[in-house]
């Protein structure tokens, strides 16, 4: 069969995929457009059913979508295995996630999971990452900075220049690739993958969250500075 992925599926196939995803809790508009939201729903379905979470509807994913016994979409990735494992920048994907602004409780759950994956712990790390998340994205999962000096390069699948800072922790694609956590998504917007790459970057550059200039500044009563 033909594999279906973002931008490739004809109307009838995309519509059918959206209808099947909705039967598992995706809440997609059935418009026959296999765009970023449909890709994100496919990834969420794949996560829920322990399939390769690549956003591509191939034979295995299609069979699972047709199986009423498959697990519903939860938009929660499985616990990754952890450990820094760089990927090629060509492997980085840019699929927008099915979230807008998220409440602190959701952010904290992702933060704690990412910390566990990276082997860091304690209230200093928690509060420090909170400071960075607020300063960088304000809790917007799909945040992308199109105005700073990094916003250059070819346009990628999310419609923005390749080198833009993205996601909750506003990482650029090279930082994301070089600090990728084993077992996490290759998608730069995916919350756990985004946060873990930031943590590994902080460990590599600063050694500790306490040494990040923006964190120190805020703790000392000053303003936030990018990291």
Range 61-70 contact pairs with CB under 8 angstroms and sequence separation of 24 or more: 62/1, 65/17, 65/20, 65/21, 65/24, 66/20, 70/24, 70/45
Say if CB 125 and CB 209 are below 8 A apart: yes
Query: Which pLDDT score is estimated for 132?
Result: 98
The residue ranking higher by pLDDT, 165 or 102, is: 165
Query: Which pLDDT score is estimated for 180?
Result: 94
Query: Which pLDDT score is estimated for 76?
Result: 52
Superfamily of domain 11-65 in the CATH hierarchy: PGBD-like superfamily/PGBD (1.10.101.10)
**pLDDT band per the 50, 70, 90 thresholds, residue 1:** low
Helix (H/G/I), strand (E/B), else coil: 171: strand
CA–CA separation, 15 vs 78, rounded Å? 27
Is the overall model pTM greater than 0.75, yes or no?
no
Asked if residue 131 has pLDDT above 90, the reply is yes
* Tokens, residue 19: 């209808």
Concatenate the DSSP letters of all residues of 154-169 into one string. -B-TTSSBTT-EETTT
Asked if residue 175 has pLDDT above 80, the reply is yes
Q: Report the pLDDT averaged over residues 15-32.
A: 92
CA–CA separation, 69 vs 48, rounded Å? 12
Work out whether the CA dihedral 117, 120, 123, 128 comes out positive or negative. Answer: negative
CA distances from 42 to 69, 110, 120, 197 (A): 16, 20, 31, 23
Percentage with pLDDT > 70 across the chain:
95
Query: Which pLDDT score is estimated for 21?
Result: 94
Query: Which pLDDT score is estimated for 26?
Result: 87
**89-219: CATH number:** 1.10.530
pLDDT one-digit tens code per residue, 40-81? 788 778 877 878 777 889 999 999 999 999 999 865 555 555
- β-pair type (144-145, 165-166): antiparallel
- Per-domain residue ranges for the chain? 11-65, 89-219
Query: Which pLDDT score is estimated for 38?
Result: 87
Whats the size of the chain, residue-wise? 227
**Do 11-65 and 89-219 fold alike per CATH?**
no
The residue ranking higher by pLDDT, 46 or 131, is: 131
The residue ranking higher by pLDDT, 76 or 106, is: 106
Say if CB 175 and CB 199 are below 8 A apart: no
* Tokens, residue 53: 């979470």
User: What distance separates the 2 farthest-apart alpha carbons in the chain?
Assistant: 60
Asked if residue 173 has pLDDT above 80, the reply is yes
């Amino acid at each position: 069969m033909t594999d279906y992925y973002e931008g490739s599926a004809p109307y009838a196939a995309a519509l059918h995929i959206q209808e099947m995803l909705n039967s598992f809790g995706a809440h997609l508009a059935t418009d026959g457009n296999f765009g970023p939201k449909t890709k994100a729903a496919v990834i969420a379905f794949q996560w829920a059913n322990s399939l390769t979470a690549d956003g591509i509807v191939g034979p295995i994913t299609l069979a699972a979508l047709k199986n009423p016994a498959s697990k519903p979409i939860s938009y929660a990735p499985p616990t990754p295995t952890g450990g820094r494992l760089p990927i090629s920048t060509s492997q980085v994907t840019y699929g927008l996630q099915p979230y807008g602004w998220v409440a602190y409780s959701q952010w904290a759950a992702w933060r704690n999971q990412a910390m566990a994956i990276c082997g860091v712990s304690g209230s200093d790390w928690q509060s420090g990452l909170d400071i960075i998340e607020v300063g960088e994205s304000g809790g917007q999962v799909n945040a992308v900075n199109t105005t700073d000096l990094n916003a250059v390069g070819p346009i990628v699948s999310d419609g923005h220049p390749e080198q833009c800072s993205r996601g909750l922790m506003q990482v650029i694609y090279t930082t994301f690739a070089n600090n990728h956590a084993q077992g996490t998504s290759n998608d730069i917007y995916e919350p756990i993958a985004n946060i873990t790459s930031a943590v590994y970057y902080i460990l590599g550059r600063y050694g500790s969250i306490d040494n990040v200039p923006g964190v120190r500044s805020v703790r000392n009563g000053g303003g936030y500075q990018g990291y």
